[in-house]
Amino acid sequence: MLLLFMPLLQFTNKGIYCEQADLYIDPWKKVPKALITHAHSDHARSGHKSYLCTHETLPILKLRLGKHIPASGIAYGETIIVNGVKFSFHPAGHIIGSAQIRAEYKGEIWVASGDYKVEDDGISAAYEPILCHHFITECTFGLPIYKWDKQQKVFDQINSWWSSNASEKTTSIIKAYSLGKAQRLIHNVDQNIGKIFTHPAVEKVNNAFREINIPIAKTIPLSPKVTSKDLEGALVISPSSSSELLNNAKSISVASASGWMMSRKRRRNGNIDRGFVLSDHVDWIGLHEAIKASGASHIYPTHGNTVTFSRYLKEQGYQTEIVKTEYAGEIDID
Ligand SMILES: [Zn+2]
Ligand SMILES: [Zn+2]
């Protein structure tokens, strides 16, 4: 009898597929059943017939895809069994609610990391290494040049930039993605320096988290009522610095907080005064730590520098296969 080996998770043109359970992880085409690692747009698409994500991701998924989508929440560490396959969600440390998804069947364990970072940012549930045989890992920053400073060092730099601007009544604007980076900034900047204003896109996400009792510090939404006096010395967190809501600010300093700020070219082209290297993705060293801690022998790099990273892993004796995603180009959410 010929036994055909079918891996528990497969890489299809709709996304990561588990045939045994007939469901997908972070699919980019419409499917009946989707498990979602987190609510960033390259992982959570609209149109699936059912969604399962962590309780913390659920309100953001609904905010982004519609209140009435057929979505339900699961706690970190809770197990569901679908046709014999055990699934559970574990903290990925990427943004609030983000999860790695573990799948186990007949003793074989796979982990799909989604996006992750290994440093505890203080507001997202901290990354937990999960033992497995097969590890699907993002590698957005899978090159040796990407090494992050400890976040406290970066926040010291941000705080001193803000307080020196504040002493000159200048408004400090940090460009940051509205889901993830914005909440990390709000949580970790020194609240004593001054008031924090947020773009409405950020404030919507903040409020969705506050409704489920995630402690996002007090922020003031930008609105046409906010005067130039109000904005003097304040910090503004916004996905863009060209918002008309910022027209009242007399003197401004614009910064960006992102892993891409390692690149001089990006800093130069970004129309910014300061670039803070602060990423919600794992760096080169963290990738190695995570892969080692997973105990996996089979590694599947996805998102980012997959070719270089996969070659490097092969040299280290790992079995690797690159996972292609339709949205591999969408790597600016960092
Ligand atoms: Zn993400
Ligand atoms: Zn991503």
Q: What are the pLDDT digits (tens) for 129-157?
A: 999 999 999 999 999 999 999 999 999 99
Q: How far is the CA of 243 from the centre of ligand 2 (A)?
A: 25
Compute the distance from residue 181 Cα to the ligand 2 centre, in Å: 13
Q: Are 222 and 300 in a shared domain?
A: no
The token pair at 177 is 């993605």
Picking from 85, 104, 110, 91, the residue whose alpha carbon sits closest to that of residue 294 is: 110
Q: Which two tokens stand for residue 101?
A: 């998804």
Tell me the average pLDDT across 162-190. 97
The CATH number for 170's domain is 3.40.50
pLDDT for the residue 127: 98
* Claim to verify: residue 175 and residue 268 sit in the same structural domain: yes
**Range(s) of the domain holding residue 244:** 151-276
Within this chain, do residues 231 and 167 fall inside the same structural domain, yes or no? yes
Say yes or no: 141 and 221 in one domain: no
* Domain contains 160: yes
Question: Which strands, in side-by-side order, build the sheet including 85-91?
Answer: 79-82, 85-91, 99-105, 108-112, 134-139, 298-304, 319-320
- The most confident of the ranges 53-57, 248-252, 308-312 is 53-57
Ligand 1 geometric centre to CA of 334 (Å): 7
Counting ligands in written order, the one closest to the CA of 303 is 2
Indicate whether 330 belongs to any domain: no
Instruction: Let me know whether 76 and 46 are in one domain.
Output: yes
Domain count, the chain: 2
Q: 22 with 80, same domain?
A: yes
What per-residue confidence (pLDDT) applies to 330?
Answer: 43
Per-residue pLDDT averaged across 243-247, rounded? 83
pLDDT digits (tens, 9 = 90+) for 194-235: 999 999 999 999 999 999 999 999 999 999 999 999 999 999
Instruction: Examine residue 327 and state whether it is found in any structural domain, yes or no.
Output: no
Residues with CB under 5 A from ligand 2 (ion): 42, 115
- Asked whether residue 18 is assigned to any structural domain, the reply reads yes
For residue 132, is it left (φ>0), alpha (ψ between -120 and 50) or beta?
Answer: beta
C-alpha of residue 326 to centroid of ligand 1, in Å: 15
Tens digit of each residue's pLDDT (9 = 90 or more) over 65-105: 999 999 999 999 999 999 999 999 999 999 999 999 999 99
Q: Which two tokens stand for residue 137?
A: 């890992």
Q: Please give the average per-residue pLDDT across 177-194, as a whole number.
A: 97
95 plus 180 within the same structural domain: no
Percent of the chain with pLDDT strictly greater than 70? 96
Q: What is the CATH number of the domain that holds 88?
A: 3.60.15.10
Same domain, 40 and 162: no
Q: How many percent of the chain have pLDDT more than 90?
A: 86
The overall average pLDDT reported for the chain is: 94
Q: Is the pTM value of this prediction over 0.85?
A: yes
Q: Specify whether 122 is located in the same domain as 33.
A: yes
Whether 14 and 136 share a structural domain:
yes
Tell me how many degrees the CA angle 197-203-209 measures, rounded to the nearest 5.
130
State in Å: Cα 134 to ligand 2 middle: 19
Distance of CA 198 to the CA centre of its chain: 19
Based on the domain organization, do 47 and 156 belong to the same domain? no
Closest ligand to C-alpha of residue 302 is 2
For residue 333, tell me if it sits in a domain.
no
Q: Clarify whether residues 182 and 38 are in a common domain.
A: no
In a domain, residue 2? The reply is no
In a domain, 66, yes or no: yes
Q: 94 CA to middle of ligand 2, Å?
A: 10
User: Please, which pLDDT band fits residue 329 given cuts at 50, 70 and 90?
Assistant: very low
> Does 4 reside within a domain?
no
